[in-house]
Amino acid sequence: MNGPGPGEGTSAVCPYLLAVRSVVFGTCNLLLLGVPAGWRLGDGAFPPEVDRWAVRDGISWATAARGHWWLAATAGGTGSGPGDSRGGAAQGTEVAGAGRPVQRTGDGRSDGGAEGRTATAASPRVARRGEGGGRRRLPARVELFLDVRPRAAVDRAGEGPVASPAARLLSRSATDGTLELAGHRGWWARGAVRRGFPGRWHPARALVVDCPETKRRIAVRLEAAPGSGESEVEAAWEAAVRGWRCH
């Protein structure tokens, strides 16, 4: 199975760069992935952390890191711009180059309106800046978890009894398989995770990709937020794969 290339498919995708910025170490990139047009990427329950990194072509890429983000959709469904994450929309994102940010083309601004559908009271929300300088709260649809590990550490630990590394990221896997994504070997799984009390099941997708160039394994899990379902997870999954670039 080959992953769709950028621009393929029926829905528009906005590429987002996940990165960590430090006044001491500069910018360290995590991953470039796609977000459905009209959706926003916001900070999650904990800030992204980087333990190790490697420099490729003058750009720092995390080789040991983890992070959590929320994905939320605006009512208009068009014009996805930079969210409140430490990364941002790729067309306006600064990418580290030899310790110096390199500005990509475009301003990355968004004029999308507030989320139109009603969320449950328990739904987390993502902040966005309104025209008046205040903050509007958008119901989150999907949670995004990222885990990056050095490939050497994965080899030492072994793959474990479950054949698919992606299936191991889910509490219950309904189907899984392999794919080639941006020229790299990967695994995918579709199923569910169990969260909270009394342990409700949430639809989820998992993706694991090995990147020989940066010598790391990248694992991404997408989970439906409270009040959302499998359709939201599938929309986030399709966009993430179409906009994927690991270096």
Per residue, what are the HEC states of 165-224? CCHHHCCEEEEEEEEEECCEEEEEEEEEEEECCCCEEEEEEEEEEEECCCCEEEEEEEEE
- Burial group, residue 137, by CB count within 10 angstroms (0-12, 13-18, 19+): middle
Q: Which of 19-33, 69-83, 115-129 has the lowest mean pLDDT?
A: 115-129
- State the pLDDT at residue 125: 42
8-47 per-position pLDDT tens digit: 444 689 999 999 988 777 899 999 999 998 898 888 988 8
Q: Other CB atoms closer than 10 Å to residue 218's CB: what's the count?
A: 27
pLDDT bucket at 98, cuts 50 / 70 / 90: very low
Amino acid at 192: A
Is the pLDDT score of 104 beyond 50? Answer: no
170-199 per-position pLDDT tens digit: 999 999 999 999 889 999 999 999 987 778
Q: Which of 63-77, 126-140, 167-181 has the lowest mean pLDDT?
A: 126-140
Provide the residue ranges of all domains of the chain, joining segments of one domain with +.
13-108+125-242
What single DSSP character describes residue 23?
T
Contacts 24+ apart (CB under 8 A), 89-94: 89/14, 89/15, 89/16, 89/17, 90/14, 90/15, 90/16, 90/17, 90/32, 90/243, 91/14, 91/15, 93/16, 93/17, 93/19, 94/27
Closest by CA position to 70, among listed 239, 242, 223: 223
In this predicted model, which residue has the larger pLDDT, 236 or 96?
236
CA dist 161 and 159 (Å) reads 7
- State the pLDDT at residue 163: 72
